Amino acid sequence: MSAVSEVGVNEAEARVVLGKMSELWWMWLVTGVAWVIISLVILQFDKSSVNTIGILIGCMFLLTSLEQFVFAGLSSGGMRLVWLIFGVLFLIGGFVAIFNATDTFAVVANILGFLFLLVGVFWLIEALTTRAANPMWWLGLASGILMIVLAFWTSAQTFTTRAYMLLVFAGIWALLHGTTDIVKAFMVRSLRNVA
């Protein structure tokens, strides 16, 4: 009987978390639209906009950091620690990128493949860990796989080619993130009736 009561507590806790998340559905929508706008801005730049790209990369990292901290506040257990670690890493990266914008572009162009690999792995983990509660988990999985493929392809290019690809792929990254967040917004909104 204690096992049944433990399951009941876990279900009650899950409903509370779902209720909190469903109240914040608009957060995913707003951040998703922001990511899409950032992607469109990035894709308009050329080689002379290096400093601006560095600042935008910093802003993207700071926005991602904010999202990670919100997710950490809504989570418990091991996932909370994962969200906090990624939040701190993106926060540090955001400030470094903003205050060294010109150097950021060159550094990011050099490590673009590695960054895509990190993002792709993170999206895969997120998709697989939320699979039970998210019927659209496959979208995150597909985005993660695409980012990993882009990571290996980008790593094989020369620096000059990577610098140009940074403009395009940063825009693609932001667009994928925005699209995923917009879909999540409506999925989380639909949880209002469940909680």
Predicted pLDDT at 5? 44
C-alpha 167/C-alpha 61 separation (Å) is 16
Predicted pLDDT at 30? 92
Predicted pLDDT at 46? 61
Predicted pLDDT at 150? 84
pTM, 2 dp? 0.55
Predicted pLDDT at 7? 44
19, two tokens: 């209720």
The answer to whether the CB of 72 falls within 8 A of the CB of 87 is yes
C-alpha 121/C-alpha 129 separation (Å) is 12
Per-residue pLDDT of the chain (195 residues; tens, 9 = 90+): 444 444 445 677 766 776 777 777 888 899 899 889 878 877 776 655 677 778 888 888 898 899 899 888 887 777 888 889 999 999 999 999 889 888 888 887 888 788 889 989 999 998 999 888 888 889 989 999 998 998 888 888 887 777 777 778 777 878 888 999 999 888 888 877 665
**DSSP, res 47:** G
C-alpha 130/C-alpha 86 separation (Å) is 17
